[in-house]
Structure 1
Amino acid sequence: MDHQRISADVVEHKNGKYSRIQDAEDPRLTLFDKPLPCCGCGIGWFSFLLGFVFPLMWYYATFLYFRNYYQRDPRERAGLAASAIAALVCTIAVSIAVLVVVL
C-alpha cells in the first residue's frame, strides 16, 4: 500500500505538482519539493538583487514582508527581510543626501 503511494507521488512530481517530504521522527519538519519563483531564488532575493538597479523593488519586497507573504513559503522570509533592510538603508542614505544638498 505504501509502495503505491510513493509511486503516485513520483507521477505527481513529474506532472509538475509538488509532494510533501516528511521526516519520520518529527512530522512538523515538512518541506515542499517545489522550486521558488524568480529563477529559483525567490521573490525576496530576486527583489534584493534587482533593487540595486531599481530601488523600488526593495520597497515592494518590504511591503510583502510586512504583509506576511513568507507565511506561504517560509523560505522567502530571509530574502524579504534582506530587502526590507536594504530599503531602510536606502531611505536613510537618500534622506542624508537630501539634507546635505538642502542645507
Structure 2
Amino acid sequence: MIGVPSPSYADPDPTLDQVEARVEKLYHDSEQAQERLNAVKDEMAGKQRRLRVLRADLAKQRRESRDISEAVAGMIADQAQGADASLSPTQQLIFTPG
C-alpha cells in the first residue's frame, strides 16, 4: 500500500488584533531588555571603579614592600660593615649568590 500525503494547510494570516498584540509584546520585551542592559552597564561601571581602587592600592602596597625590602637590605649591609663583617646565617643566606 502506498501512502498518500495528506493536504497541508497554510496558517491563516493573523488578525490585526493579533499583530497589534504581538507588536505590543515585542515593545515590552525590548523595554525589559533595555532596562537589564542599563543595569548591567551600571554594575560594570561600579566594578570598574572598584578595580581602579584595588589597582591603586596594589601599586601602593608594592611600593611599600619595595621600600621595606630596600630598608632591610640597607640595615643588613650597615650591620655587616659595622660588625667586623660577621653576618648571621639568615643574612648570609640573603646575600648568597644564585
How high is the TM-score relative to the length of structure 2? 0.33
- Bigger radius of gyration: 2
Query: Whose helix fraction is larger, Structure 1's or Structure 2's?
Result: 2
Judging by fraction of residues, say which structure has more strand: 1
Q: Which has the higher contact order (CA 8 A, sep 6+)?
A: 1
